[in-house]
Each structure stands twice: as C-alpha cells, then as structure tokens.
Amino acid sequence: MQYTRNQLPQEWKHSPTICHGLIQAALEKREAPEHLQYIDDIIVWENTAMEVFEKGEKIIQILLEASFAIKQSKVKGPVREIQFLGVK
C-alpha cells in the first residue's frame, strides 16, 4: 500500500513556491481574468463591484475545476480599499 499526500507540507521550504506554481498553471491554462497572485493570495480589480465579483467567481470556478479547495471564509470583497501583503 502506498500513501500519497494531498497537501503540501507546511514545514517544507519549497511549499510556497510549488503552491504558487500550481495555482498559476491552473489559472493560465484556463485563461483567467486579469489578476495579481502571490502564493495563494489572489486579487482582482475592476471599475464596478459587479465586474470584480464576476472576475472573482471566474477565478474560483477555474480553481475548483482544477481540484483546489477554497475556504469560503478566505474569500473577501468586493471592497473599495484593501490591504494586500501588508500594503494598503
């Protein structure tokens, strides 16, 4: 019997790089809308809240179809102002 991990080990120093690459590859493959990604954080922007919502939904759908798990509590927005990677 062989066991396979379905998550990256958090203590492994290359986990963030691999995570970023896997998400990026999934989004590029399905031609995701314009976005900014840092590891597992993704931000989208647009002129109206509805357009932001639609872009976010498209990205979420792409990631779910690629078998990524997304915690609903981590999904935020749309908002007028954000803090991303410590910068407001």
Would you tell me how many other CB atoms lie within 10 Å of the CB of residue 20? 15
Could you read off the pLDDT of 24-72 as tens digits, one per residue?
Answer: 999 999 999 999 898 888 999 999 999 999 999 999 999 999 999 999 9
Would you tell me how many other CB atoms lie within 10 Å of the CB of residue 42? 20
pLDDT-based confidence at residue 20 (cuts at 50, 70, 90): confident
Which among 41, 85, 38, 78 has a CA at the least distance from the CA of 57?
A: 78
